[in-house]
Structure 1
Amino acid sequence: MEKKLKDLREEYLKIPIPKELNDVVQAALNEKPRKKPRVGRNILVSAAAALLILTASVNISPAAAKAMSDIPIVEKVIKVITFVEWKEEANNSSAVIKTPAISGLENKQLEDSLNDKYLSESKQLYKEFTDSMSKLKEGEKGNISVESGYVILTDNETILSVQRYTDTIQASSSTESQFDTVDKKNEVLLTLNSLFKNDRYLQVISENIKEQMKRQMAEDPEKIYWVEDDDFTAFKGIDENQNFYINEDGKLVIAFNSYEAAPGYMGAVEFIIPTKVLSDLLVGDQYIH
């Protein structure tokens, strides 16, 4: 994994940087990421060092061997790190782009495909920003703000849900996100389809979202969703490619980008789907419960 990240990092840094863009801040891959206190995972190097000490103690002392039998086995650590971070301010515009990378999966094909995708997304975003800057006339201000990063939404024994987001401000603001949810035990990428027995879930979830939209609008007049049946822009329903994730409570969350289901001032919106609505449709309760 370290070699793969190093190769990807070198590829990233091959992107030509215009002379006027002069502040590239990159994450040092050889730095060990800080562990998260709330998760309580050991850094791999520390775990390896501890294992060496324990092994030496066992060879020397039978008492140490007995004590070691009571110590839990160190499990594999799947984590998300900041692969590279780039910051720039120019022509009254700014961009901050953080690229995540997943490490610790034994399924290297999955790990590499996700990391390649994350890198490709960041490179494309970088290119779009620099292209917009290059089109400015001398003395013209871009007035663009781009911030891209990631959030670990869920990280437990079963799943890892990661959100990559991009907030863009240019005359108006918008937020776009993509989500990946990984089954950590079986090391597979979960899709919406894979969670259900058949495609009836599409209609059930869509109807529940419409109900939530109407209820929220009735309770709060400042909330507006495009849900009226006679409106050509109305939300018709989700499809199998709908953005989703599974939260820490084991609930399915359906996510929409800005302008997908509501006016721009509402921003990105999400709906937690009650599990009782889905229980007969799920293939199992290991993920959603």
Structure 2
Amino acid sequence: MSKLHDSKKQYDNIGIPTELKHVVKDTIRESKGKRKKSMPFKKWGIGMVAAAAIFVASVNVSPALAQTLSSVPVLGSIVQVVTVQEIQVSEDTYNADIKTPNVTGLENEELENILNEKYIAENEALYESFLIEMEALKEAGGGHLGVASTYEVVTDTEEILSISRYEVNLVGSSSTTLRTDTIDKKNEVLITLPSLFKDDAYIEVISSYIKEEMIRQMESDESIVYWIASEEEIGFEAIRPDQTFSITADHKLTISFDKYEVAPGSMGLVTFEIPTDVIQESLVSNVYIK
């Protein structure tokens, strides 16, 4: 599964400076420099049809999907998130179900395009890796392979839009990877974790709180297990500067970890809500976190 694991890293991290008034310009410039050129979406869809026996559902050709999309809530008065394409593969012991989100309605068209091209590139890499792994298994005599990719709008307010994408390996250990983009809908800028704080001191502040919370939860419930680094054991030491995060509807910061990242698989994806008073001194402002 190494190729599938590698594909999870093949997407663009869009940077953002602390000074929010310059964020759009810098985000677009940095992202253009980092992004790899990907195939146009229509071309990718045609290539996939030729590559394997798959079902492609799009907004234009699938009545069932169109009905589903009709129930997708409008985010604010303009912005929407819809499924632009769904790829399904069902071939003996090989299965894939890959859904690609698409953001529409942002006046900042360059940011909208950057996000949508990133979502396409993520699922393009996942699907191509799936095909490679499937062919390798067939040549080796067969096996089981399954992947899924879906998304969820986790926060939808007048101010904030957070879109989480879930990538799941459905066979064996059934690993799950989470990625979330959080957008300031009023100013139409992408918010990153570093942009919320004055400097990188937030890493230690948040990490210390999470360790304390892990210990508290384990002491209160013996079924809960976290891997915390110590002199004797390898485990969680600190969050990454770009750790997966979201902002809730009531303006609280949450930090998330992939399945197996800080705990056994039975714990699944793990999320911690960080009390605002813990990070107050590190915040740039209380515009987003209150």
Question: Shorter chain as normaliser: what TM range?
Answer: 0.7 to 0.9
Partner of 2:289: 288
- Aligned mates of 1:231, 1:117 — CA distance in 2: 40
Partner of 2:110: 109
Q: Post-superposition shift, 1:8?
A: 4.2
Partner of 1:179: 180
Which amino acid is 1:120 matched to? A
Structure 1, residues 107-156: CA drift from partner, whole Å, max 9, x if none? 11110011000000111111111112212337944322211100000011
8 Å CA contact 1:91, 1:140 repeated in 2 = no
Give 3-state SS (helix, strand or coil) of 2:125's partner. helix
- Aligned mates of 1:238, 1:266 — CA distance in 2: 18
Give 3-state SS (helix, strand or coil) of 2:175's partner. strand
Q: TM-score, normalised by structure 2?
A: 0.79
Which amino acid is 1:129 matched to? F
Partner of 2:45: 13
Determine which of 14, 17, 28 is the counterpart of 2:59.
28
Give 3-state SS (helix, strand or coil) of 2:57's partner. coil
- Structure 1 residues 138 and 281: alpha-carbon distance in aligned structure 2, compared to 1, 3 A threshold: closer
The count of aligned residue pairs is 247
Which amino acid is 1:214 matched to? I
Structure 1, residues 180-199: CA drift from partner, whole Å, max 9, x if none? 00000111100111111222
Q: Post-superposition shift, 1:239?
A: 2.5
Give 3-state SS (helix, strand or coil) of 2:47's partner. coil
Which amino acid is 1:26 matched to? A
Which amino acid is 2:45 matched to? L
- Aligned mates of 2:140, 2:111 — CA distance in 1: 46
Which amino acid is 1:159 matched to? I
Which amino acid is 2:46 matched to? K
- Aligned mates of 2:214, 2:53 — CA distance in 1: 46
CA RMSD of aligned residues (A): 2.2
- Aligned mates of 2:50, 2:103 — CA distance in 1: 30
Name which of structure 1's ranges 114-123 and 244-253 shifts more when overlaid on structure 2.
Answer: 244-253
State the structure with more CA Rg. 1
Q: Post-superposition shift, 1:167?
A: 1.3
Give 3-state SS (helix, strand or coil) of 2:111's partner. helix
Matched, 1:145 2:181: no
- Aligned mates of 2:101, 2:118 — CA distance in 1: 10
Name which of structure 1's ranges 93-102 and 22-31 shifts more when overlaid on structure 2.
Answer: 22-31
Between the two structures, name the one with larger relative contact order (CA 8 Å, sep ≥ 6): 2
- Aligned mates of 1:25, 1:231 — CA distance in 2: 50
Partner of 2:9: none
- Aligned mates of 1:141, 1:163 — CA distance in 2: 33
- Aligned mates of 2:264, 2:229 — CA distance in 1: 13
8 Å CA contact 1:159, 1:183 repeated in 2 = yes
Alignment of 1:211-230 (within 5 A): 211-230=212-231
8 Å CA contact 2:48, 2:54 repeated in 1 = no
Partner of 2:261: 260
Partner of 2:36: none
- Aligned mates of 2:100, 2:255 — CA distance in 1: 24
- Aligned mates of 1:122, 1:115 — CA distance in 2: 11
